[in-house]
Structure 1
Amino acid sequence: WSRAKNTSYFQAIKIAVNDIYGIEEVNEKSIEELSNRMNIENKKGLYRKILKEKARIERSIYDGISDIVDVDREFFAPVVRLEDYIMIRSREDVRKLSRMQGLPIHSLRELERALELRVAGILDKIVGFKIALAYERSIYFEKATFNEAERVFNRIMSSKDTFIRYTRNDGVRVTVPDQISIEEGRSLQDYMVHKILQLAAQHECPVQVHTGLQEGNLNLVSNSHPLLLSNLFMEYHDVKFDVFHGSYPYTKELADIAKNLPNVYADLSWLHIVSPTSACDALKDWLDTIPSNKILGFGGDYRFVEGIYAHSKMARTHIAQVLREKVDRGRFTEEEAKNFARRILRDNVIEVFKKAKA
């Protein structure tokens, strides 16, 4: 803990525990008191108190990672991941989709139909789709043909129902279905991503895409370079792409893409707590290069509301600092700066995710 105190993650935690729970410093002496206070506050009304009253967040675009779309609409507007339809590697994966949709899936055509029915069943509940496959593979999705994808699907369906049993490092015995590798399944994955984007275009659903830095360790940031998505941006020009995390460390590459392609939006979600310096530098650059309607200034990226509050406070501070500097240098008037702040923190999100306002 002491070795990480220099990081922005630590700064966010410090803001949260200080502003919400009145604790000055997180250490071995205060941690028990902090835990007790958090347990006391963890009751109905916590989200309203922190998200609405303290963070002043009107509504959050909710990525629950799981397939949950039934949420409290006063607080959340969900996007959905459809990765179960993309990352198919075993017959058991197909069976799970079949059980979920309540229809047989024995062919690629039937898999496509299951996806279409899934999307049709949740359209009135979601505001967009989310793609976060950089954690598993490169985000370059080729235009695979039906025949190429079908060969992979048929290989999966003709495989034996064998299972692999092994013991994890923690001693737990695990049984998993035998499956093809991610690389072996690439053609099917690519094909299904394109299918999802076709549905996004058909139903006017924006698509959030994870790019840049990945959570955790031992991930390859080269898998998530925004330029890998260029073919998708160019082909699906009717789809609005919300490109996450400033593509850090590739913020300038994202600036070039968002400047030149009308359907690409640059999003600073997560970046304010990854690196305030990079967030401010990116915003300075983007305000010089990208039309202001295409910049999204903040995204919480926490699973606990206290962190979202702290992150929002940091984001407001960074945005205010950047705009103040622009005003001091004569680039913007104060009124223009206020309008830009409102746009990148609220109005642009409503324009991109139109159903989020409903």
Structure 2
Amino acid sequence: MSRSLDIIIHYVMGLRIIDTHEHLPVFEKLCEQNTDILREYLLHSFISDLRSAGMSDKSAEQARDISIPLLKRWDMVEPFWEQVRYTGYGQVLDLAARDIYGFPRIDRDTIEPLNSAFMAARKPGHFKHVLKDLSKIDISINDNIHSTGGSLDCDKTFFRSVFRLERFLFPENLNDIKSVEEEMGIRIQSLSDWIDACEEVFNTSIKNGAVALKLGLAYSRPLRFDRPRRAEASHDFNFLRDAWKKKKSVQIQDGRKLQDFMMHHVMSLANRRGLVCQFHTGHLEGAGAMLGYSDPLLLNNLFLEYPDVKFDIFHIGWPFQNHLSSLAKMFRNVFVDMCTAHIISPIAAYTILCEWLESMPLNKICAFGGDYVFVDGVYGSQLITRRNVARAIASKVDTGLINIERAKEIAEMLFIKNPKLLFGI
């Protein structure tokens, strides 16, 4: 380790940072209680690597079934676990086992005592221990994907909230419309009613303290949003509602003009408020999807049309990070968010950050977001991120581009000042 890297890593490890993206329970008391370590650790992220390595969906489901003895489930998982132990997702779990519970790694010899330690820790105070004491996170920006109607109640000790409007942008069945009617005490009979309901949720969410709007539509459709006429969107809305009432099957393209129209309407609302809009781009979590839907280049027209929206582009757009590099350099309203990227592909995140430090304004980059649904994962994610960012910044010291003091200032920008300024926290 070079002297500069040693100094910068030590400095970065001591920073109390901002976390731009999580999916954690909004209150610690809401954590699942009927669980164990495999059920929790295979809930998110790492399970995708196991499936990629060949684990069947049935085996993955059984591995999380706590009615089956733990060692029997470990035997099902182990052959695949060893194939993906060294991915970013795999490293996260071993780091959590080591630093939270004191076990060198997760394997057949440690899984049972590790599970005992895991279960013993499931009591009030574990969130604080992991997020505040070990991870040194001041605030996490949390996406409660189950929140509806603008309700953003959460533990402000740990979180600030984003809100979602996908069901307005991309209604998938009649229940989406009925749920809005029931929650808001209104009747939805036209596109105008749908727009009014969407605006009410938008305004309520802002009033309740939302710091950003989160959009994850890339899992379902391309991120290119054209601008149809209102009459075309109204036709789509009426067609979908009538088809659902008659229990007829519809295709995604049947509602495309409605989706596009609603996206532009929401962007116009966000533009008037100068709101931050977080867009999922790049890698799609799970067992296969249409990756081409998620290229950040598809958002180019929105960047042009809504200059006062602050676009926070997630996951470095990997594997389209070079597209994002140019977009963020071109547009003052486009920001790059490295959330999850350091564990999706640690090397890709390190490499692109080395490039970005010399290719775009420093105030465009937010370094860390864990993107976990369970708290232990956040610890490993932030540790890998701190190391990666320190290495990238130290490389600029080693080449003589910056000195140690400037390196420390840049680290503070990426981990603290930039996200605070972007989200107004």
Aligned to 1:53: 133
SS in 1 for 2:335: strand
Give the Å deviation of 1:179.
4.6
* Alignment size in residue pairs: 341
Which residue is 1:32 aligned to?
112
Percent identity over the alignment?
A: 35
Q: Which string of whole-angstrom CA distances, capped at 9 and with x for unpartnered residues, describes residues 278-316 of structure 1?
A: 011010111111100000111111111111111101111
Distance 1:347 1:119 in 2: 27
Aligned residue for 2:27? none
Q: Establish whether residue 242 from structure 1 lines up as the match of residue 312 from structure 2.
A: yes
Q: Answer yes or no: is the 8 Å Cα contact 1:89–1:181 preserved in 2.
A: no
> Does the aligned pair in 2 maintain the 1:244–1:268 contact within 8 Å?
yes
Q: Is 1:22 aligned with 2:102?
A: yes
Aligned-partner SS, 1:72: coil
Corresponding residue for residue 239 of structure 2: 155
Q: Secondary structure at the match of 2:287?
A: coil
The superposition leaves residues 140-173 of structure 1 with CA deviations (integer Å, 9 ceiling, x where unpaired) of 111122111000011123336345xxxxxxxxxx
Which structure is richer in relative contact order (CA contacts within 8 A, separation 6 or more)? 2
Q: 1:126 and 2:210 equivalent? A: yes
Q: Is the 8 A contact 2:339 2:369 kept in 1?
A: yes
**Match for residue 42 of structure 1?**
122
Deviation at 1:204, TM superposition (A): 2.5
Provide, for residues 315-354 of structure 1, a one-character-per-residue CA deviation record: whole Å limited to 9, x for no partner.
Answer: 1101111111100111111111111100011111111101
Matched AA of 1:60: S
Q: How many Å separate the matches in 2 of 1:223 and 1:162?
A: 30
> Could you tell me how far apart the structure 2 residues matched to 1:333 and 1:179 are?
62
Counterparts of residues 250-329 of structure 1 (less than 5 Å): 250-329=320-399
**Secondary structure in structure 2 of the residue aligned to 1:159:** helix
Aligned counterpart for 1:98 among listed residues 149, 172, 181:
181
In structure 2, what residue type is equivalent to 1:105?
A: I
Unmatched tracts of structure 1, length 5 or more:
164-177
Decide which of 187, 192, 197 is 2:262's aligned counterpart.
192
Letter aligned with residue 4 of structure 1 = V
Q: Secondary structure at 2:312's aligned position in 1?
A: strand
> Which among 139, 142, 151 is matched to residue 226 of structure 2?
142
TM-score, normalised with respect to structure 1: 0.92
Q: What CA distance in whole angstroms lies between the structure 2 residues aligned with 1:269 and 1:339? A: 20
Contact 1:211–1:224 (Cα < 8 Å) also in 2 = yes
Matches of 2:364 and 2:249 in 1, distance apart?
41
2:158 partner letter: F
Distance in 1 between residues matched to 2:120 and 2:244, nearest whole Å:
52
Is residue 2:277 matched to residue 1:207?
Answer: yes
Structure 2 distance, partners of 1:93, 1:319, is 42
Distance 1:92 1:312 in 2: 38
Once residues 189 and 201 of structure 1 are traced to their aligned partners in structure 2, the CA distance between those partners, rounded to angstroms, is: 18
**1:106-121 pair list within 5 angstroms:** 106-121=189-204
Q: 1:5 aligns with which of 74, 79, 85?
A: 85
SS of alignment partner, residue 357 of structure 2: helix
Task: Give the partner amino acid of 2:292.
Answer: S
Is the 8 Å Cα contact of residues 282 and 295 (structure 2) preserved in structure 1?
yes
Distance in 2, Cα, partners of 1:207 & 1:18: 36
Counterpart residue identity of residue 110, structure 1? D
Aligned pair in 2 of structure 1 residues 38, 160: CA closer, same or farther (>3 Å)? closer
**Aligned Cα root-mean-square deviation (Å):** 1.3
Kept after mapping to 2: 8 A contact 1:89/1:179:
no
